[in-house]
Amino acid sequence: MATARLDATFAALADPTRRAILARLTLGDASVTDLAKPFAMSQPAISKHLKVLERAGLVSRGRDAQKRPCRLEAAPLAEADGWLDAYRGFWEESYERLDGVLAKMKADEKKRARPKRHGDRR
């Protein structure tokens, strides 16, 4: 893992606005105008944040001269231990536990049903 690149990644991630921009880009490519909308910030201010993200290799810009849509570049983030998955992680871990709860419920039900199959009905 290239340390310099990791430093750049983490420096870029240290700002809440930039993290929010990346969060938005996980949903799909977006123009600077789209990205600026949720923030009480000017487009030039957002562009500055985008430059930092671009330098860190986290975001690339499309060729379309007018819109130049921003795209999330996943590779450096994968190196940073996949923190983008935190939202997903909450639910994934919950559901994995739910799998266990359901397996136990099914087993308990079988246990209760078994005597019946042997004609032990009450």
Partner 1 sequence: MTRTATSPLQITTPSDREVAMTRVFDAPRRLVFEAWTRPDLVKRWLGVRGGWSLAVCEIDLEVGGRYRYVWQGPQGQEMGMGGVFKEIMPPERLVVTEKFDESWYPGEAINTTVLTEHAGKTTMTLTMRYASKEARDAVLATPMATGMSESFDTLAGVLATLA
Give yes or no for residue 75 binding partner 1 (CB under 8 A): no
Which residues in 23-90 belong to E strands, given as ranges?
A: 59-61, 70-72
Tokens 């996949």, residue located? 82
Q: Which stretch binds partner 1 (CB under 8 A): 42-50, 56-64, 75-83, 112-120?
A: 75-83
54: Cβ contacts below 8 Å, ≥ 6 apart: 60, 61
Q: Which two tokens stand for residue 31?
A: 């123009």
Tokens 């600077």, residue located? 32
- Interface residue with partner 1 among 44, 65, 66, 81 (CB under 8 A) is 81
Q: Which stretch binds partner 1 (CB under 8 A): 50-58, 60-68, 74-82, 111-119?
A: 74-82
Residues lying near partner 1 in the complex (CB under 8 A) are found at: 10, 13, 16, 19-20, 22-24, 26-27, 38, 80-95, 97-103, 105-106, 109
